[in-house]
Structure 1
Amino acid sequence: MKENKQSPRTSALLSIIPGLGQFKNGQKVKGGIFLGLFILFVIEMVFFGGNALVGLVTLGTNPGVDNSMFLMVQGTLQLLVTIIALFFYGVQIRDAYQTAVRIQKGKEVEDGWKGIRDSLATNGFPYMLTFPAYALMIFVIILPVLVTLFMAFTNYNFNHVPPQSLISWIGIQNFHDMFFLSSYRATFLSVFGWTLIWTFAATTLQITLGVFTAVVANQSFIKGKRLFGIIFLLPWAVPAFVTIMSFSNIFNDSAGAINVQVIPFLNHLLPFLHLHGLPWMTNPLWTKVALIMIQGWLGFPYIYVLVTGILQSIDQNLYEAATIDGATAIQKFNHITLPAILAVAAPTFVTQYTFNFNNFTIIYLFNNGGPGDVGGGAGRSDILISWIYKLTTSNTPQYGLASAITLLISAIVIGVSLVVFKKTHAFNMD
């Protein structure tokens, strides 16, 4: 009787060698599968995995022969394989223990291919469906993220380009340079400050325009709503690449339509304005103003469509009751319309801010981050993501520093998103 009580613990201890706990429980097929996977992992570690992990630590020892980046990628992949193997190692120990508990309670335990098949068809079916997605995620998302993470702690730059030369681990030096090295600190603070201004101003403008057009177009006295809907969707229908390149020509200082046609027309229509052509492409301030206006134009149609759907779901009796109580249009908007919009669209609004925080396309295509520069390879209208691009594609690339900035961007975006999502109850599934 005493031996029977220790059976679950004994099965778990035997599972230190994968499969033995299952053999003790009478599950020979399952035990054979775990033992076979363990043997395959050991063979893989002997012939490849061990060297891959060593390469991840050393990043090579023979310049001109060893490629540090290949070693980092191979080592990172092996690290993921090892973590997965350790996970399944723990799973098989837990499985042996729980199976022994079921046997101790007199419950039936199935074995053989039929039992495994039946178990997969019931309890394991959701895992079978999601396994391909998880496997793909390892190679498409987790592996690149880990390589970028590791790269941020290396001296991978124009002086250390494998395989001609090896890269090595330097700890937090890149982060230190970003915040304390005078040349990069000034650049980082300038670019980061403009990134925050750009994100807040451009996104707020497109959200405001989207909400405003949706609310106005949804009023009962407005005629031709379908026509307005088509007009408002035009910026969304045209590819953003084409629109941005067109605006780049429209805002040209000497030959653009704004300075050549629009401003003279306004002066002719309203002579007292005395407007002059503005340096949209050569003055950093006006370039930034143009970028914010263009993004407002590009981004508001999506908000318009989203908010239009929300407005159509609001009970009109609420507005009728507010009218009877003497509420003004502003009061109706503040107490009925806006809360209804935010209750549904707040998480989407947050994603618009995070998107514009990393909106590389408009910054690069409009004026390539110019005009001028603020040092460190960054232009005066560059945001963090476009600065990273320049750091990695210039004649003197700084891959390690670019990776460090990438990690900082990720931390900011993820942190802010999680806080706002929690405050807006976006994760509530009720």
Structure 2
Amino acid sequence: EGKKPSSFVQDVKDLFDKNFHKTLLTLPLIGVVITVIMPLIFMILMAFTNFDKLHQPPGKLFTWVGFENFKNLFWNNPKMSQTFVKILIWTFIWAVIATFSNYILGMILAIIINKKGIKFKGLWRTIFVLTIAVPQFVTLLLMARMFQDLGPINVLLQQLGLTDEAIKFVTNGRNARIFVLIVNMWVGIPYTMLITSGILMNIPEDLYESAKIDGAGPVTAFMKITLPYMLFVTTPYLITQFVGNLNNFNVIYLLTGGGPNSLNYFQAGETDLLVTWLYKLTVNEQNYSLASTIAIIVFVISATFSLIAYNRSASVKKEDTFQ
């Protein structure tokens, strides 16, 4: 005997009863559509137009230009193309160094603090936690002011007779890049230290005792036990940090504003990442079409790297090994 189909009223009642879990998912789904999918579609469409400050309604309507923005970015406009290549290379260099310097130094710091024989472990952890307690943007703004050409650090160095003239921490391209990397370590290492400390305390002590009996030294134990375990657990974190650093707007913009500016760059500075460059193109230059083109490239790079790196990581391939 066939089952009688439910009425519309019954379906509505079910949404607040046995299918209530589906109802709860509706609001997040709507939020994702409004805040992620719709802006993404709008951005993609805008990349194929000439929407900029010279083509805005009601004075002059923008039109479809096909792949013209991509052509300009890659080869038609030499200065724009060179700027894109330089910023793309610097973005990857920044992301790699910023991610792995924080990770490696944070892990080393955690190993030192967790080492047997180290006293006042709680105190050391508390000291490093204090750097996280201060909002990051406050730290970055203070650092930016302190290391200006006429800032307190340069004044102090000159008064102590250590330098004859101001060191250009943020107004020299090479120095500015080193500066943002060092400050990023300052704000990032304590956070990594806390994460890796918790993981280190969960590694079974029996593994180290067995390795010691077999004649393994500290370096061998680290390479064969600590590092594989850490990488297995923290690979998703590393991927997230790398993608986050590809799009690390705060550190670059608050410290240097993307500068120092250079005539060799197209509406960009020597420390600009792709994300800060597209911000300038949007807010300062109102070149929305070019900014959207760059945003698509950033999205493709981030999404492709995340999917490939995660699916090829030990966290996925060797999941059963660490169960």
Which TM-score applies when normalising by structure 2? 0.91
User: Following TM superposition, by how much is the alpha carbon of 1:260 offset from its aligned partner in structure 2, in angstroms?
Assistant: 2.5
User: Following TM superposition, by how much is the alpha carbon of 1:348 offset from its aligned partner in structure 2, in angstroms?
Assistant: 0.4
Residue 115 (structure 2) aligns with:
219
d(CA) in 1 for partners of 2:22 and 2:58?
Answer: 41
Deviations 1:32-65 (A, max 9, x none): xxxxxxxxxxxxxxxxxxxxxxxxxxxxxxxxxx
Share of identical aligned residues, percent?
32
Secondary structure class of the residue paired with 2:103: helix
Structure-2 change in CA distance of 1:155 and 1:426 (3 Å): farther
One of 170, 173, 176 as aligned partner of 2:71: 176
Deviations 1:257-299 (A, max 9, x none): 267349959x6xxxxxx99863212211011001001111111
d(CA) in 2 for partners of 1:117 and 1:253?
Answer: 67
Secondary structure class of the residue paired with 1:378: coil
1:263/1:277 contact within 8 Å kept: no
Aligned-residue RMSD, C-alpha: 2.4
d(CA) in 2 for partners of 1:262 and 1:117?
Answer: 75
d(CA) in 2 for partners of 1:349 and 1:408?
Answer: 21
Residue 149 (structure 2) aligns with:
253
User: Following TM superposition, by how much is the alpha carbon of 1:163 offset from its aligned partner in structure 2, in angstroms?
Assistant: 2.0
d(CA) in 2 for partners of 1:321 and 1:403?
Answer: 56
Moved more, 418-427 or 154-163: 418-427
Residue 329 (structure 1) aligns with:
218
Residue 311 (structure 1) aligns with:
200
Gaps of 5+ in 2: none
Residue 82 (structure 1) aligns with:
none
d(CA) in 2 for partners of 1:370 and 1:176?
Answer: 26
1:203/1:296 contact within 8 Å kept: no
One-letter code aligned to 1:409: V
1:259/1:278 contact within 8 Å kept: no
Residue 138 (structure 2) aligns with:
242
The answer on 1:375 being equivalent to 2:242 is: no
2:74/2:81 contact within 8 Å kept: yes
d(CA) in 2 for partners of 1:117 and 1:195?
Answer: 51
One of 268, 271, 282 as aligned partner of 1:392: 282
User: Following TM superposition, by how much is the alpha carbon of 1:111 offset from its aligned partner in structure 2, in angstroms?
Assistant: 2.7
Gaps of 5+ in 1: 1-105, 268-273
d(CA) in 2 for partners of 1:407 and 1:137?
Answer: 18
Structure-2 change in CA distance of 1:276 and 1:224 (3 Å): farther
Secondary structure class of the residue paired with 1:322: helix
Deviations 1:72-120 (A, max 9, x none): xxxxxxxxxxxxxxxxxxxxxxxxxxxxxxxxxx432333356425654
The answer on 1:139 being equivalent to 2:34 is: yes
1:199/1:356 contact within 8 Å kept: yes
Structure-2 change in CA distance of 1:276 and 1:165 (3 Å): closer
Deviations 1:301-324 (A, max 9, x none): 221111111111111011111112
User: Following TM superposition, by how much is the alpha carbon of 1:364 offset from its aligned partner in structure 2, in angstroms?
Assistant: 1.1
Structure-2 change in CA distance of 1:276 and 1:204 (3 Å): farther
Residue 189 (structure 1) aligns with:
85
User: How many pairs were matched up?
Assistant: 317
Residue 181 (structure 2) aligns with:
292
Deviations 1:211-269 (A, max 9, x none): 1111111111110101110111122111111111111133223433267349959x6xx
d(CA) in 2 for partners of 1:236 and 1:209?
Answer: 16
1:254/1:260 contact within 8 Å kept: no
One-letter code aligned to 1:211: M
Secondary structure class of the residue paired with 2:193: helix
